[in-house]
Amino acid sequence: MLHSKTRWQSPAADPEKNGELARSLSISPLLSSLLVQRGMNTADKARVFMDGGAEDSHDPFLLKGMAEAVPRIRKALQDEEHILVYGDYDADGVSSTALMIYLLRHLGASFDIYIPHRSNEGYGLHNHALDWALQQGVSLVITVDTGISAYHQIAYASGLGIDVIVTDHHEPPELLPEAYALINPKLPDCPYPFKGLAGVGVAYKLAEALLGSEVPEEWCEIAAIGTVADLMPLLGENRSLVRRGLTSMRNSPFPGIRALLSVSGITMSTVSAVNIAFGMAPRINASGRLDHAGRAVTLLTTSDAEEAEQFAGELDLLNKERQLVVERIVGEATAKLEERISQTGLPDIIVLAEQGWNVGVVGIVASKLLEKYYRPVIILDIHPDTGMCKGSARSIPGLDIYEALSSCAGLMDHFGGHPAAAGMSLPQDKLEDFDAALNAYAASILTPEDFVAVTAADGEVSIADLSLQAALELERLAPFGMANPLPRFILRGAAVKETRKMGQDGKHLKLVLQQDKVTIEAVAFGKGPLADLLPAGTLIDVLAELSVNEWNGSRKPQLMLQDLAVPAAQLFDLRGAADAVKQAAHIQELIRSYSGSNPVKTAAVFQNSRMSPLRELKGMSLWVYDEDAGISPLHQGDSGSDQTEITLLCLLDMPETPEQLEALFTAFPRTENIALLHSIRDGRDRLQVPTRDHFKSLYKLIASIAATATPEHEVLLRLSRQSALGVRMLGRMLDVFDELDFIKRSGGSITFVTQPAAKSLTASEHFVRLGKTAEMEQYFMEGSRGELQEFMLSRRLGAS
């Protein structure tokens, strides 16, 4: 039994609306249901969503501040003022800066750009940068993707005689800066109808206000990158910008974008928003995380193809380095958190800080810990000299992290962000109070339900619904991203027909699933080890995205697995494992991610004679087989009520008797999964189901060997030479003869009884027990997984 990592939720279907929309637009019921669920429940709305329309774009002068900003920029152009574009170091800030460079070049302006260094300077407008701007003769600063919280810095700029136009999209604070113009759709009194623009989207609207219909179409490519990278909702105007950007990108005139697509392994003709999010954006962000974002700006704005290839290659290398840095910090942060959990439990908000945690990647680390623990996470780097802490937060849907930070604003020097993500800085001596204040706030907001991760699905379907035509038709909903995710479907009760690992070191998993004779391939990246837990015949539920797999000119539908569950108890057939102890630890780790809301609890059972070290069975309850009690704990502390909570039972050795097997099921009644890890005995070492012929042959041999008292070990040795049976089997048969008085045992020797009383073999308890034990051993040694599972299920029901 494997539990899904998250709780899947799919909306109730509305067959009437779905059918009506499907008929009016001549689309499939699957596509129609998706449109209805996403609010496109009329033919007109659905057409605009799928094909676009004029209503997607709004007059840029509806943005408050635009009417003031445009004349000021025109004046600067007319008077040949020197302008400074002040950006940010993330992909949205880089894209915004690049777009402003194209705009100011187009207008023939005199300008410079400034992007702060993430580690050395941090986010936002800085006074020292304004001092530098003054030295360069700057009289107008245009901020992009930043500035809405820079109250004091903009006041400082005014004192220097520099006007500041702010273009931003972050949440406005209560105290707004007194800039020459503030352009932000989220300002409380801004009438702009679409509030979801990225920083680059606001910059694009400024370009529209200045150029009107003359904005070059290819600039949408830059807008698309920042919009997707900053996780803005792909609805309304963003959807239009990104769609147009992707269309242009397929024949991009920008050497930098072409080179970036190439190093990201993206085919230009099929580039998608998903490619931007997982291919292009991480490489652009790597520039600002580990170096300086100026390198990425140069890439996006160069006209030199050779220079573009050089910078794209550098960003690719930086991204690889970034991945290694993230991996290291995640390991350190996890160890630090686990130590805290062991002492005080898992906090509502995880706050971790340490020196040497590169401030450029702490946001990624926070995201990875959130995924693992499903708690809001704040990761901070402590400067070794100043003690200042700079960090990033990532949050779950139940907690607006910006509001949480606002509740303890007095403890921080600076903060800003969104409900789901934020950044902050504070002195090290305030960390403890910061942690306590945030957790006190969270305790008043969060409920137990908020800590259960929920994944939204788009409906429950069958494999028959997931045709190639359906997969192709779903592309009409693209581009996919925030607020318009790739459709996810729940498929229940699919049988695993084939399982195999693929990729380097078997890192990835490929399944063939079947339902009512219809099959489909499913791929799960990074889930290769799960192949051991999903043998053919397993019935599984999956949460998956539908895609098209193209190979050698053929196309077929394919599922991309996001999550899975096995509703029934499982038997993991790993018989003959080279290292049973190591394999048990591996299985425990695999199941840990699929254990649901309760942590996996494991028991390992083995023969007392086992000599291999057990140190790898950390955290497991250890048990040994016992001739009298069936099984008993290796350590007295393992015996108790906790054994009823065991969910994974690892049999390092097989039980020797039916009584030991029954004892397993009695001791561990709620076991969800059993892993068989025992060795496979050679043929002659195995027991056989006894027959009259076996005993008849043996009787004759004993008569010739033990006519007089003969040491038992010598009898067994001679019998094994003259018989096809092994010593174990022969010893058990001697027990039967002894019980029936066909032989006499005395002082370690055996004597054949020449005229025993006639007795039936079935009258012997040893004979009956040998039959049951041999049958059990046959299943454990030779039975298929299905046969063994059925055998154990029948014994388990008998034990319960």
Q: What CATH code is assigned to 346-442?
A: 3.10.310.30
So what's the architecture of 570-680 in CATH?
A: 3-Layer(aba) Sandwich (3.40)
Find where tokens 């009823």 sit.
644
CB 141 within 8 A of CB 163: yes
Residues 6+ apart with CB under 8 A from 561: 509, 511, 522, 523, 524, 527, 542, 543, 544
Structure tokens at 413: 């020097």
Residue 111: its H or E element? strand 110-114
Cβ–Cβ under 8 Å, residues 536 and 498: yes
Highest mean pLDDT among 296-305, 480-489, 691-700, 752-761: 296-305
Question: How would DSSP label each residue in 393-425?
Answer: EE--TT--HHHHHHTTGGG-SEEEE-SSEEEEE
What is the reported pLDDT for 157?
98
204 CB-near residues (< 8 Å, 6+ apart):
99, 215, 219, 220, 223, 241
Hey, what CATH topology would domain 684-781 get?
Answer: Arc Repressor Mutant, subunit A (1.10.10)
Q: Residue 658's pLDDT is what?
A: 87
Is residue 744 within 8 A of residue 734, CB to CB? The reply is no
Percent of the chain's residues with pLDDT above 90: 75
What is the structure's pLDDT at 202? 98
DSSP 3-state assignment of 306?
A: helix
Quick one: angle between helices 29-37 and 43-51, nearest 10? 90
How far is the C-alpha of 605 from the C-alpha of 650, rounded, in Å? 6
Burial (CB count within 10 angstroms: exposed 0-12, middle 13-18, buried 19+), residue 291: buried
Q: Would you say the C-alpha torsion 749, 752, 753, 754 has a positive or negative sign?
A: negative
Which of 655, 648, 652, 610 shows the shortest CA–CA distance to 631? 655
Cα separation, 417 vs 403, in Å, equals: 10
User: DSSP per residue over 692-742, as a string?
Assistant: HHHHHHHHHHHHHH-SS-EEHHHHHHHHHHHSSS-HHHHHHHHHHHHHTTS
Residue 511's SS3 state is strand
The fraction of the chain above a pLDDT of 70, given in percent, is: 98
- The percent helix, strand, coil of the chain (3-state, each to 5) is 45, 20, 35
Nearest Cα to Cα of residue 561 among 523, 514, 530, 596: 523
**CA–CA gap between residue 514 and residue 180 (Å, rounded):** 64
**CATH class given for the domain over 7-30+457-565:** mainly beta
pLDDT of residue 333: 97
- Banded pLDDT at 410 (limits 50, 70, 90): very high
Overall average pLDDT of the 56-78 stretch: 97
What lies within 8 Å, CB to CB, of 19 at 6+ separation is 29, 32
Q: Is 493 helix (H, G, I), strand (E, B) or coil?
A: strand
Q: What is the 3-state secondary structure (H, E, C) of 81-93?
A: CEEEEECCCCHHH
8 A C-beta contact, residue 286 and residue 322: yes
Q: What is the model's pLDDT at position 292? A: 93
Per-residue CA distances from 449 to 50, 372, 446, 600 (Å): 35, 17, 8, 21
The Cα 184–Cα 147 span in angstroms is: 10
- CA–CA separation, 383 vs 6, rounded Å? 37
Higher pLDDT among residues 162 and 784, named by residue = 162
Amino acid present at 263: V
Residue 585 scores a pLDDT above 60: yes
Q: Is 452 helix (H, G, I), strand (E, B) or coil?
A: coil
How many residues can be counted in the chain? Answer: 800
Does the pLDDT value for residue 444 go beyond 50? yes
What is the pLDDT, as a whole number, of residue 599? Answer: 78
Averaged pLDDT score across all residues of the chain: 92
Strand ranges, E, within 151-240: 163-167, 181-183
Among the listed residues 503, 678, 490, the one whose alpha carbon sits nearest the alpha carbon of residue 581: 678
pLDDT grade for 614, boundaries at 50, 70 and 90: confident
Domain ranges of the chain: 7-30+457-565, 60-318, 346-442, 570-680, 684-781
Can you give the pLDDT at residue 52?
79
CA distance 526 to 536: 20
Structure letter (DSSP) for residue 644: G
Task: Report the top-level CATH class of 60-318.
Answer: alpha beta
Q: What pLDDT does residue 160 have?
A: 98
Q: Once rounded to an integer, what is the mean pLDDT over residues 690-719?
A: 91
pLDDT in tens, 126-151: 999 999 999 999 999 999 999 999 99
Torsion of CA 397, 33, 269, 230, to 10 degrees: -20
* Beta-bridge partners for 379: 352, 392
> Could you report the per-residue pLDDT of 209-267, keeping only the tens digit for each?
999 999 999 999 999 999 999 989 999 999 999 999 999 999 999 999 999 999 999 99
Residue 640 has pLDDT above 80, yes or no: no
Q: What is the pLDDT of residue 55?
A: 66
The strands making up 82-86's β-sheet, listed across from edge to edge, are: 110-114, 82-86, 138-144, 163-167, 181-183
In sequence order, what DSSP letters do the residues of 666-681 get, joined into one string? HH-TT--EEEE-PPPP
> Other CB atoms closer than 10 Å to residue 741's CB: what's the count?
11
pLDDT tens per residue across span 381-401: 999 999 999 999 999 999 999
Residue 584 has pLDDT above 70, yes or no: yes
Residue range 34-43: average pLDDT?
Answer: 92
pLDDT of 402 > 50? The answer is yes
Yes or no: say if 750 and 704 are a contact pair by the CB < 8 Å rule.
Answer: no
pLDDT of the residue at 800: 47
Calculate mean pLDDT across residues 761-786: 91
| The two three-digit tokens of residue 711, written as one number | 């040491």
What is the band of 799 on the pLDDT scale with cuts at 50, 70, 90? low
**What integer pLDDT is reported at residue 641 of this predicted model?**
46
Of all helices (H) and strands (E), which one includes residue 564?
A: strand 554-565
For 272-276, which contacts have Cβ atoms below 8 Å and span 24 or more sequence positions? 272/246, 272/478, 272/479, 272/480, 273/224, 273/228, 273/234, 273/242, 273/246, 273/478, 273/479, 273/480, 273/481, 274/480, 274/481, 274/486, 276/224, 276/225, 276/228, 276/229
Contacts of 668 by beta carbon, 8 Å cutoff, 6+ apart: 603, 643, 644, 646, 649
CB 257 within 8 A of CB 249: yes
169 has a pLDDT exceeding 90 = yes
Q: What is the DSSP letter of 268?
A: G
The tokens of 176 are what? 């707004």
**Sign of torsion over alpha carbons 19, 25, 27, 33:** negative
Amino acid letter, 795? R
Q: Which uninterrupted H or E stretch holds 623?
A: strand 621-626
SS3 576: coil
Q: Which pLDDT score is estimated for 683? A: 79
